[in-house]
A and B are shown apart, each in its own frame.
Chain A
Amino acid sequence: MTKTRRPLSLRQRESLLGYLYILPWVVGFIVLTIGPMIASLYFSFTDYNIISPPVWNNFANYRKIFDGLPQFIASGDTTVLGDPLFWQSIKVTVKFAALSLPLGLVFSFFIAVLLNQKIRGVNIWRTIYFLPSVLAGVAVTLLWVRIFNPRVGILNPFLENVLGIEGPGWFTDPNWAVPGLVIMGLWSAGGSMIIYLAGLQGVPTDLYDAAKVDGAGVVQRFLHVTLPQMTPVIFYNLVLGMIGSFQYFTEAYVASGGSGGPARATLFYNLYLYQNAFKFFEMGYASTMAWILFIVILILTALVFRSSELWVFYEGELKGR
């Protein structure tokens, strides 16, 4: 007797089709993402200069990063560190994140609130504010380097003539290079603004009506209705903004010519990683830095997710039940 194969059920056929449709993406993910990740994990334990095959060096790359850290913490002397530039890049990146993240969140939210008003031509304003976020990073950075130039740029004359403030050297001053990049980033706040705007338009109007009936003023409605309703969107932008600020590269590279100057004031983590990989021919050490960055971002993101239980409110969620 011949064995007849049971035909696939409709559900099985549809599942199979589904998997086949996503097959291109899966293959791409494995070949172009997971594969390189596994390779870079291996390289992080090797001396690898791209030209010659990698040579296993155990944890030497990781040791180099953390060498001398206790002595540095005790003395403040950077020369005891295994790699002082690694820690300089951490310092620059954290400084940038600490400035750009809260400013970016507040600024884009503020613009979104303004653009949520029923005023004539609001769509034109929304387009104007959104446009900078779609412009190429390199071109925008070159434009801003010119604007910030203390000799021929337009910003310092504006500060001096209109506000009576003597402008700093911006990208020629180590103390003002990072703030300059932060200001440059605020110009492209349109991307976050659009997401906030969508969130604002999703806030149920009956909540505002109820608040008005209870006698809440504009500020109180903003604080007790708008903000809580917007916390999921703020959370989303916070997570993406945090990841983006730790991966900051293009603007720092273009503004400093790839050097991380002046005086290493724009030596961001990713820029230093890039220098190790392609300038110093230390792809193994660069891979180590990449994995450390991955773990740090993972931990920080997990912490933010964990904290969201305290301050993110989802509509319809009933706490304690």
Chain B
Amino acid sequence: MNKKYALLVLSVLLVLSLLLTACGPKPGAEGADDRTKVVIFVGLGTGTDPHQISMQEELAAEFNASHDDIEIEFMIVPYEEAGQRLLAMIAGDTAPQLVGPMGVGSVAEGLEMWEDISPYIAADNFDMSDFYSLSVDLNTYPDKVVGLPLGLYPSFLFYNIDAFDAQGLDYPPADFNDTSWTFDRLRQDALLLTLDANGNNAASPDFDPENIVQWGYDDSWIDLRGWLAPWGAERVGSPTSADYKTAVVNSPEWVMGLEWIMNGIWVDHFIPDTAGQQAIEATGADPFSSGMVAMWNSHTWYMSEGLYDLSFEIQIAPTPFNPEGTRIARAHADIFAIPSGAKNKDAAWEVMKWLTSEENIVRVCEIYGCIPARQSVQASYVESLNTRYPGLDTNVIFESLNYIDIPNIESWTPEPARVMDVINNTQSLVMIEQPLTAQELLDQANVELQKILDEYWAEQE
């Protein structure tokens, strides 16, 4: 009988402990020493690489040592689960105080989630004039300002100097006025830089496309909008008309750009297909640092993630001119945003200001690889770039800012997640062998997209 009652007491205690745990205080509200805690959720963009984590921890230690009232903590979440984790936290009333760094696309996909900071700006009489106007515009919506600009990530070409030297090729020109640097010339170079296991390049009749060991060009870390924005369409990186009511993915310029890419994958073989990308991933390195891609189109955020312990010399070059005769270098722009369901928003605002202040923005941007959005600190940022990447033509980075995509490749559309699902599905079709042409693929995507837009606007009426 004693044993039975002991088990009974244990059962009741177990149930009570479960209930108490569920009803207990929520984490994150108070920091050590009763300081207000600001949790910074990192994972929707860059910031999750091991060396970035340690740099963020140092930043947090510095902030916490200098502030008596607020304590910050970086919460690093892998990108693959960051979206779901954040949603679960918001739904469970445990929203972090800040989320970032986060690009225009992530902001747009969850626009309702973010606090409007314009009242904070007005209350503090906060001076926004030092920020690049483009970076402010990208995060200003009709009904809210989502965050103070942190940084810009222009895009350009990273290239493997050793690969060019091995083929005896001239390097891509660094002169932004050199109109010989076109997508046609890039293709010619890429053909000669694409090598099979026997050393034959893709222009050779003996080339074996089933045994490629080095591809001439890759742009795989971006979606279809990013691929096609440089090709000069009227709406640049946006898949809709200016009033968001008409789908325009099958514009002649986007079709031309997609044809160039599809030929690059399936005819000329200088761009890796899905199987090729998986083969590169199997090396455990990113496409460029694996040494398997000679020219890599990416953004400055790649510099803080990928340019470590390279076995070859590199340099950077501008995005080529498109057949329209224009140059469009797509860009990302990051902010930290405050979830509208977060507690301690005043403290979050103070931390947001600290991170983007003149004194700290350079250091924060060094962690994430962005150009600081403040114009006044450019000189010190250039100095830090030259120290970290000696020999790199940093002029390419800043000059590329003059060719930014407007509308941006991540700009808001109605039903942004559904639109991106259509975009990504089309991209997946490009990467596999299938019978549709670029025109047919984009026409198909346009029909799907138009349906989404029509349904959205019907609901608004």
Contacts and interface: CB of A to CB of B under 8 A. Distances in A.
Contacts of B425: 259, 261, 263-264
A169 B275 contact: yes
B46 to A, nearest CB: 19
A145 interface: yes
B432 A263 contact: yes
B83 A262 contact: no
Nearest to B451: A79
Nearest to A49: B112
Given A146-B282, A151-B275, A51 B434 contact: no
Contacts of B428: 259, 261-263
Contacts of B432: 169, 172-174, 262-263
Contacts of B429: 262-263
B32 interface: no
A275 B205 CA distance: 46
B237 interface: no
Nearest to A275: B421
A211 to B, nearest CB: 50
A28 B273 CA distance: 48
B434 A259 contact: no
A286 B311 CA distance: 48
A39 to B, nearest CB: 12
B195 to A, nearest CB: 15
Interface stretch (A18-26, A104-112, A214-222, A310-318): A18-26
B84 A278 contact: yes
A8 interface: no
A16 B278 CA distance: 60
Interface residues of B, number: 43
B169 interface: no
Contacts of B8: 17, 20-21
B431 interface: yes
A226 interface: no
Nearest to A177: B432
A151 B90 contact: no
Helix, strand, loop or mixed for chain B's interface?
helix
A107 to B, nearest CB: 27
A174 B84 CA distance: 27
A151 B215 CA distance: 14
B447 interface: yes
B7 interface: yes
A172 B276 CA distance: 10
A172 B279 CA distance: 12
A24 B11 contact: yes
Contact of A278 (B83, B279, B418, B421): B83
Contact of B7 (A21, A50, A173): A21
Interface in B1-24: 4, 7-8, 11-12, 14-15, 18-19, 22
A241 interface: no
B433 A173 contact: yes
B113 interface: yes
Given A21-B11, A51-B341, A281 B110 contact: yes
Interface string A161-185: 0000000010011100000000000
A199 interface: no
Interface in B308-345: 340-341
A259 B223 CA distance: 13
A263 B425 CA distance: 6
A172 B90 contact: no
Contact of B18 (A27, A79, A263, A264): A27
Contacts of B415: 280
Interface of A: 17, 20-21, 23-24, 27-28, 31, 49-52, 79, 145-146, 149-152, 169, 172-174, 258-259, 261-264, 275, 278-281
Interface of B: 4, 7-8, 11-12, 14-15, 18-19, 22, 80, 83-84, 87, 90-91, 110, 112-113, 210, 273-276, 278-279, 282, 340-341, 415, 417-418, 421, 424-425, 428-429, 431-434, 447, 451
29 contacts: A17-B8, A21-B7, A21-B8, A23-B15, A24-B14, A24-B15, A27-B15, A51-B340, A146-B282, A149-B275, A149-B282, A151-B276, A151-B279, A169-B432, A172-B273, A172-B274, A174-B432, A174-B434, A259-B421, A259-B425, A261-B424, A262-B274, A262-B429, A275-B421, A278-B83, A278-B84, A279-B83, A280-B421, A281-B87
**Complex A-B, nearest 5 residue pairs according to Cβ-Cβ distance, in ascending order:** A261-B428, A172-B274, A151-B275, A152-B279, A151-B279
Given A21-B8, A150-B275, A264-B425, 10 more contacts: A27-B19, A79-B447, A149-B279, A152-B282, A172-B431, A174-B434, A259-B421, A259-B425, A262-B428, A263-B434
